[in-house]
Homo-oligomer: A and B are copies of this chain.
Amino acid sequence: MTLLHILDLLSVFVFALVGARVAADRRLDYGGIALVAIAASVSGGTLRNLFLGLKPILITDPWVIGSVIAAVAITLSVRRVTKIGKTLLIMDTLGLAIATASGVQLAHNLNSPWYATIILGVITAVTGGLLRDVLCQVEPVLLHRETIGTSSLFGAIAFVILIEFNVDVTIATISGGVVVALVRMLSIQFDLNLPKFQQGEK
């Protein structure tokens, strides 16, 4: 099993956990929860693969759907959860870091130019959460209050810079992921947010 494969499965698992939980909170039925978990966990990697001309891992790797099923089963069985907010946030941060790392590494392996590597890393990381919120009809956190996209962008840029300095790919991948998690956690800790547009009128 390659690092890339492990990263993909891990990010699928944690994004499916978060997706299933958000869907459950929105009172979707079990089928809806499963579908949102699938959409939330595989759409980022799917888009990345389609953009690169590859088949999505959902239909090439049985472990992917296995990871989603495990995550949904856990969500449905662990009914009462205390402090779900914090756990979810950590999960989501973890997924974000791992997905960014898997995105930049795959793009790099396929000889994408540096700007494409950054873009593919961010797309892999943020697409699932966006689709999850659109399907659950909640305000997309990505677009409103959070530093999800920024964290992923910083991590992807860190990866590209390290590669430029001939750092080993595995080390650059892990470092990129760590940067994502750090930026995200610091922004939560100190309540940093991107500014909003201030208009003259209104």
Interface residue ranges, A against B (CB under 8 Å): 23-25, 27-36, 46, 50-53, 55-56, 58-60, 62, 65, 76, 79-80, 107, 112-113, 115-116, 119-120, 126, 130, 134-137, 139-140, 142-150, 193-201
Contacts and interface: CB of A to CB of B under 8 A. Distances in A.
A19 to B, nearest CB: 12
A31 B119 contact: no
B196 A62 contact: no
A149 B31 contact: yes
A111 to B, nearest CB: 12
Given A23-B143, A115-B65, A194 B29 contact: yes
Q: How many copies does the complex hold?
A: 3
A59 B116 contact: yes
A120 B59 contact: yes
A194 B65 contact: no
Nearest to A137: B139
B80 A29 contact: no
Contact of A59 (B27, B56, B65, B119): B119
By CB atoms of chain B within 10 A, which of A27, A145, A149, A197 has the most?
Answer: A197
